[in-house]
Amino acid sequence: MKLHRLALALALATICAAPPVMAQAAAPATTPSATQPKEGWYRAIVDTAFVRANVDIPPKKGVMLIDSRPAARQYDPGHIPGALNIPDTQFEKMTARLPADKGTLLIFYCGGYECMLSHNSAFKAEKLGYTQIKVYAAGMPEWKTAGHPVSVSLAHIRKLGEDKTPFALIDARPKRVADKGMIPGAINIPDTEFDKQLARLPTNKATPLIFYCGGLECVLSDKSADKARALGYTAVFTYPPGYPEWEAVTGSAQAAPAATHAAAAAPAAALVPGKEKGSVTVASFEQVWKTNPGSVMLIDVRDAKEFAGGAIKGAVNLPINDLEKKVGTLPLDKPVVFICGTGARSGEAYDMVKLYRAEVQAFFIDAEAKFMADGGYTMKQK
């Protein structure tokens, strides 16, 4: 009898302790994800971290980021840096903009979880035979919320000017390069001089700032934009195609000044003067580097990250931002040749060395260069 009473008491205690079914809280709404795709979504979904790892300036090889939104109202005023605009409604008319290599990683995005444009374009690309396709479903809204860099197009810069909207267009290239030509209305604040020229920035930190430099291979505008954000500016953008695109679109190319080198200033050894003061021709550099590389010191002034992604075998990495404090380490017994991806930073390095250590036999290569991970490179004389 006692056992029966004990069992009954335990059962009642268990029932009383259990929460009523009606009192249970409703399950929270879940955010769409790769494991919970919406109807009609493309099957391969990636997140912000994946995009951040595969998208950069300079653009990563073998990757194309595609913004599927309309141009004027959405892409132009704000997109992920390096993204190509192929609106889904124009996809069939713009397939020529897709890479020839069908194995290229294509990442499509648009206006967030409710936007189907990127998914539609992804299916179309798959039908064309592309095999590495992803969709960044969170798209532009999440990218901006995460505080990642945002770029604008040339069309948007022009519209701001036409609308007389207050904004600051900033050329982050060295003065020697910007002096040859800038986008009308821009002010030149070289990235290496940024901290010394803060007074030239707008006092109102809500003023839109748009930084540009020497094209998709140039990181100066990105670096300056980061510094501006750190100062508290809230509307900071970049224009990655920079001056080269503006020059190509407007046809405002300026003739390079004729060489005026005095015989006494001629480069040593077999290096031949280029058009710009202090520069040497690509052909003469390559001849010296091929036949007697030990006779010169080749210094790559790009950032360490860029250098690690590809550089000329035998080159020494000394980022432009570190050069001033290390200028005393440069040799005096051989020519020092500076190189970068566009000729902008290498030219600035030459100017800096001539200012602080004129006795160094300094020169630079004024060319468009691309560097491969295996030490190979291509170089186009300007």
CATH of 48-145, one of 3.40.50.300, 3.30.230.10, 3.40.50.2300, 3.40.250.10: 3.40.250.10
334-363 tens-digit pLDDT: 999 999 999 989 999 999 999 889 889 999
Q: Give the pLDDT score at 252.
A: 60
Q: What is the pLDDT of residues 32-53, one digit of tens each?
A: 444 467 889 999 999 999 999 9
The dotted CATH code for 154-250 is 3.40.250.10
Between CA 296 and CA 335 the distance in angstroms is 5
What's the fold here for domain 267-381?
Oxidized Rhodanese; domain 1 (3.40.250)
CB neighbour list of residue 55: distance below 8 Å, 6 or more residues apart: 63, 65, 80, 81, 82, 83, 107
236/229 Cα distance (integer angstroms): 7
What is the model's pLDDT at position 19? Answer: 39
Do the strands 367-371 and 377-381 form a parallel or antiparallel pair, or are they unpaired? antiparallel
The residue extents of the domains of the chain are 48-145, 154-250, 267-381
Say if residue 77 is preceded by a cis peptide, omega within 30 of 0.
no
In order of 13, 15, 20, the CA distances from 8 in angstroms are 9, 11, 20
> Chain-centre distance of CA 131, in angstroms?
25
pLDDT values of the chain reduced to their tens digit, one per residue, 382 residues: 443 444 444 443 443 444 333 333 333 333 444 446 788 999 999 999 999 999 888 888 999 999 999 998 899 999 999 999 999 999 999 999 999 999 999 999 999 999 999 999 999 999 999 999 999 999 999 999 999 999 999 999 999 988 888 999 999 999 999 999 999 999 999 999 999 999 999 999 999 999 999 999 899 999 999 999 999 999 999 999 999 999 988 876 443 333 333 333 444 458 999 998 899 999 999 999 988 888 899 999 999 999 999 999 999 999 998 998 999 999 998 999 999 999 989 999 999 999 889 889 999 999 999 999 999 999 999 8
Q: Do domains 48-145 and 267-381 have the same CATH topology?
A: yes
Give the pLDDT confidence score for residue 36 in this predicted structure.
65
Mapped onto helix, strand or coil, the DSSP state of residue 339 is strand
Report residue 345 as tokens.
Answer: 């930073």
